[in-house]
Structure 1
């Protein structure tokens, strides 16, 4: 995980300088006090928080551009950013790549392809397999390339003013009134030509996903499809585990955002299967519950907490050789109120009650300050999450028809709706979630949104396997022995954790704008 900030502005004097900041070193960049400079200064700490191990500021008077990058070190060897490649390109990369030919650092992998000049920049980007956002500046052609992967698993926003030849690109922007930022659409390679002061947004990494209308009326291929999905998910989890090798934390745990429900329990089971026989043996389950003054419930009464405890016991029984820790993260109402302005700022431009209730749940869950049950005394002891890579079950509902509103749709209508859901997940969920989760200096990974899993699930799975996640429930029961977990109904995080409708003004709707 890294943070990206690029500022091109011929009306501003960027000095030729390269300043590096070590871990925990204060970030200070001089500048004027106009609106853009104030925004840059206020955004730097947000970018730095995403990559707490290293940061750098690179300014160029010749190109009227500055780059600020931060790095969370997860790939050996450690590679500083931004990276100047072959004296021609300036590269910023945020994410993880899983291409088979990558041996070491994925940022260096991109840099090597640029240096070899074996393909155009759009072709290089189209080859990348993973969860990423990027900026690349070609100083020779004076073109800026930026964007997100085909699903949009990393946040990225931009502002362009062609009349002033201004371009700003950032992982997170915060609330800003004077600069109209837009979230990058997943899979588009944006190209800003500084010679002609023109933004081209017509280049796509790949075609949009289309859900197959195929129906297997008698479920004759049910067993075969379960086997294929299990293979694809297992491979997606394996790739996301094997690419974790931070040299500053030995054998660090893997953390999972955990409600106790079907999707995240499947991910935990797949992780535990992968960890058998390996040095890394600890899995942290991050479960959040809120004190809700409207309902009078305390965090331990939240539905997700009760379910998480039961599912945790099942997983412990299935994997006795894995040190599974359930971290119970209790959020008092006063702490919710203190964090609320920060979360609203981070998730911008999302501004609805529902966005806040989801974002703040992920914010506290990923922060990981809670308690675990002491194995010897059976009492609760304070515990801080140690894992810096978090896994999520996001994407299962979109791929396998998990939302309640899908239940009674005809197959043609369900095909249309699922196609829309998977192609819109970058805007509906991922941009917002990445901004708040990464602010805690961690990286989130999504096995269900692996490119091969999505391709198989959209193109090959019959549509009638996607009623109430039938295929995933079958997999959980038959391949992972998850028992009653495989039948758990869908419950949105804001209702399971009780982060929705926190005040006695209970007539607010999720779609209402924040006031």
Structure 2
């Protein structure tokens, strides 16, 4: 995980600043942006400045490092010995390319693959998107081939890592995060691999080609400015964002002679559901989700950063190296239970649970909000199932005064360019929750579960109005839009603590398995009561694992469970502009 920055300036050494004042605009002061990037990468930083051989333009590259891969830290930007390739990489390779050995750093592996083909010759420019398009895992990157003058940049098909782009057409500006007082920027859509030719005519806004992940990218590209044009060839995406239409009709499972509201209905339905679908859907889901959690938990150094810095260094680290954003809800408890099965037994797990002050009244500073209560309940259930595992339940208590102070100091910068009430509430809750990490630098989150398993209340509304076909269209649309709705924001917010936020439900193999093999009618049953039919396939997996209370826990969004929404202004709508972020 890193923070990356690339921007161009007019080269005063090749004609002076007045030779063409329309090119690249004024010099940039990016001290605020670089300070934000430094929080993302506490293990080192580096900068490179190179002149473009084709135009009087200087390219600036800057990166900060969070060391999680390889035996030794690898600073960026990476340059080859001839200084003809510049590589900025913020991501993790979890598949697609040949496996990256534990002792190697994926930053170096990808650059080597870009530099040369199997025959030892430099691959052609047009094949660069093909190499990058094979990668499975979250990423954002910038790659410059100095000789050809071409720069490639982009995000993975799900947009799990942030990349912002400056609006000024006179210069190229790309960064993981931006101080809005310094640069006017927008979130680069996760449409594909972008390509800019720096050798284009000086003073003209050069066109930016998009090698799109999907044929339908044109609709989103149309909302960008005129510089952006779709390339003729579409890349093959590593992930399918459209579910296969199925005519499968599941059994009813609800007993005809029992009141649907009876407490006995839930256990009966989940037991029958598990019996009916255990080998066809529940166990394959468990296998895919476990594999996703395993690779995300293990892709890091064998010792936590505190033990690595200790003198003498301990021979074995038993500290928490993985944490879970833990509300006590279905998604976070499932992740924790499966994490217990893949981590060595001596390794502890951080469970971060955030609560916002319930009242301003003197003598009532309570933090027993709904997520705190369900978190403690779920902790007890996990301790009973895994009695030898050490869980660090970390209560993160936030007062209104602290929320207001931190929002003004840094949170509104991290949220930028998003400004809605919903973005503010969720972003603030995530930032404070991640602050609770002890020694863990990897944080697992449940993002993507609701989109794929029908967890939102609007899914029920769409199903009641249009049936399964309408529900499938809604869920496919939400997964396709998850990068612009959620993930760029979440990456900027969570990475500010120098941790890697990883999302097991958005693993490419899991997403593809669900899209190709699991009908919507099996994943969610919205003809059943809330807290049972929504995300029923995940509930059946929880039931199989012995999580009997968690399996029947209703969904509650973080802004409501943590009570941040009530702390602010309960009458606001999520889509309203949050004037407190301005």
TM-score by length of 2: 0.77
SS at match of 1:130: coil
1:483 aligns with 2:548: yes
Q: Secondary structure at the match of 1:456?
A: helix
- Is 2:222 aligned against 1:213? no
Judging changes above 3 Å, is the alpha-carbon distance between structure 1 residues 195 and 93 closer, same or farther for their aligned structure 2 residues? same
SS of 1:421 mapped into structure 2: helix
Matches within 5 A, 1:184-263: 184-196=188-200, 197-204=206-213, 205-207=235-237, 209-218=241-250, 221=277, 223-245=279-301, 248-250=305-307, 251=317, 252-253=319-320, 254-263=322-331
Count of matched residue positions in the alignment of Structure 1 and Structure 2: 473
Tell me which of 156, 161, 174 is aligned to 1:169: 174
Counterpart secondary structure, 2:518: coil
Q: Work out whether residues 11 and 51 of structure 2, in 8 Å CA contact, stay in contact via their aligned partners in 1.
A: no
Q: Which among 417, 426, 440 is matched to residue 497 of structure 2?
A: 440
Shift of 1:13: 6.9
What's the Cα RMSD here?
Answer: 2.1
- Aligned residue runs from structure 1 range 251-330, under 5 A: 251=317, 252-253=319-320, 254-277=322-345, 281-293=347-359, 298-330=365-397
Which residue among 383, 391, 402 is the counterpart of 2:455?
402
Cα-to-partner distance string for 1:295-319 (whole Å, 9 max, x where unaligned)? 9974522100000000011111111
Is residue 2:104 matched to residue 1:97? no
Shift of 1:268: 0.3
Query: How many angstroms apart in 1 are the aligned matches of 2:249 and 2:562?
Result: 38
2:85/2:144 contact within 8 Å kept: yes
Q: Structure 1 CA distance, aligned partners of 2:89 and 2:519?
A: 36
Residue in 2 that maps onto 1:60:
50
Shift of 1:212: 2.2
Q: Could you list the structure 1 runs, at least 4 aligned residues long, displaced by more than 3 angstroms after superposition.
A: 11-14, 205-208, 218-223, 246-252, 292-299
Secondary structure of 2:172's aligned partner: strand
Q: Distance in 1 between matches of 2:100 and 2:504?
A: 19
Equivalents in 2 of 1:11, 1:41: separation in Å?
20
Q: 1:65 to 1:239 in 2, by over 3 A?
A: same
Task: Deviation per CA, 1:258-295: give whole Å up to 9, x if none.
Answer: 10000010100111011145x5x110000000014479
- The aligned residue for residue 379 of structure 1 is none
- Paired residue secondary structure (1:363): helix
Match of 2:28 in 1: 37
User: Could you say which structure has the larger radius of gyration?
Assistant: 2
Distance in structure 1 (CA, Å) of the matches to 2:13 and 2:557: 48
What corresponds to 1:414 in structure 2?
471
Distance 1:295 1:211, change over 3 A: farther
TM-score by length of 1: 0.87
Between stretches 86-95 and 485-494, larger displacement belongs to 86-95
- Asked if 2 retains the 8 angstrom alpha-carbon contact of 1:73 and 1:246, the reply is no
Higher strand share: 1
Looking at structure 1, the residues matched to 33 and 343 of structure 2 have their Cα atoms a distance apart, in angstroms, of 38
- The DSSP-based 3-state class of the residue aligned with 2:373 is helix
| Cα deviation code 1:425-472 (max 9, x no counterpart) | 111111111111111111100000000011111221111123211111
Residues 13-60 of structure 1 deviation map (CA, whole Å, 9 limit, x = unaligned): 79xxxxxxxxxxxxxxxxxxx96523x221001111100000011112
Residue 142 of structure 2 is matched in structure 1 by 135
The answer on whether the counterparts of 1:91 and 1:135 sit within 8 Å (CA) in structure 2 is yes
**C-alpha contact (below 8 Å) 1:146/1:189 kept by paired residues:** yes
Q: Which moved more, 1:107-116 or 1:356-365?
A: 107-116
Shift of residue 92, structure 1, vs aligned partner: 0.7
Indicate conservation of the 8 Å contact 1:172/1:346, yes or no.
yes
User: Hey, what's the Cα distance between the residues in 2 that align with 1:123 and 1:249?
Assistant: 39
For structure 1, which runs of at least 5 residues remain unmatched after alignment? 15-33, 369-383
- 1:502, CA displacement in angstroms? 2.4
- The 1:307–1:217 alpha-carbon spacing in structure 2 relative to 1, beyond 3 Å, is same
Match of 2:435? 367
Whole-Å Cα distance in 1 between the matches of residues 553 and 236 of structure 2?
Answer: 35
Conserved in 2, the CA contact under 8 Å of 1:13 and 1:64? Answer: no
CA shift for structure 1 position 179:
4.1
For residues 439 and 45 of structure 1, the distance between their equivalents in structure 2, rounded to whole angstroms, comes to 10
C-alpha deviation, 1:150, in angstroms: 1.2
Residue 216 of structure 1: how far off its partner (Å): 2.5
Distance in 2 (alpha carbons) for counterparts of 1:7 and 1:149: 21
**Matches of 2:387 and 2:242, distance apart in 1:** 41
Deviation (angstroms), 1:506: 3.6
Q: Is residue 547 of structure 2 the alignment partner of residue 471 of structure 1?
A: no
Determine if contact 1:292/1:333 at 8 Å carries over to the other structure: no
Give the match's secondary structure for 2:157.
coil
User: 2:412 and 2:371 mapped to 1: Cα distance?
Assistant: 23
Give the whole-Å Cα distance in 2 for the aligned partners of 1:107 and 1:246: 19
- C-alpha deviation, 1:496, in angstroms: 0.3
The 3 A distance-change label for structure 1 pair 300 and 460 is same
Quick one: distance in 1 between partners of 2:414 and 2:26? 19
User: Does 2:509 match 1:509?
Assistant: no
State the match for 2:314 in structure 1. none
1:355 aligns with 2:423: yes
Give the whole-Å Cα distance in 2 for the aligned partners of 1:452 and 1:365: 28
Matched, 1:5 2:10: no
Q: Check conservation: 1:299, 1:330, Cα contact below 8 A.
A: no
Give how far 1:10 is off: 2.3
Judging changes above 3 Å, is the alpha-carbon distance between structure 1 residues 299 and 230 closer, same or farther for their aligned structure 2 residues?
farther
Tell me if structure 2 keeps the 8 A contact 1:255–1:389: yes
CA contact 1:362–1:433 (8 Å) conserved in 2:
yes
Distance 1:179 1:494 in 2: 29
Moved more, 460-469 or 294-303: 294-303
Q: Equivalent residue for 2:159?
A: 152
Cα distance, 1:221 vs. partner?
Answer: 4.8
